Amino acid sequence: MSSDNIIPFNSPIRAQIKCEMAGARQRFGHDNIDLLIIVSSWGDTMDDRQVLDALRKLNRTALVFDDITDRAD
């Protein structure tokens, strides 16, 4: 892995993520499903920018997903 792919935790975006995550945990609790999905996806299917955007949306609207489809078949 190239070292240019590694973002130090103290970078500005990581500090913003840490702040938004703390706010979400305080507001919604550690076991909130939306928060758990974001945290689980971080570094896997979501990069730092996507995680920050999702946390901001969660803190602003209390929802991450605009649409949830439940197939009951």
Q: Per-residue pLDDT tens for 3-52?
A: 555 555 558 899 999 999 999 999 999 999 999 999 999 988 999 999 99
pTM as predicted: 0.75
Tell me the β-bridge partners of 46: 42
Q: Identify whether 67 is part of a domain.
A: no
Q: Please name the residues in contact with 6: beta carbons below 8 A apart, sequence gap of 6 or more.
A: none
Q: Identify whether 44 is part of a domain.
A: yes
Domain that holds residue 52: 9-61
Domain count, the chain: 1
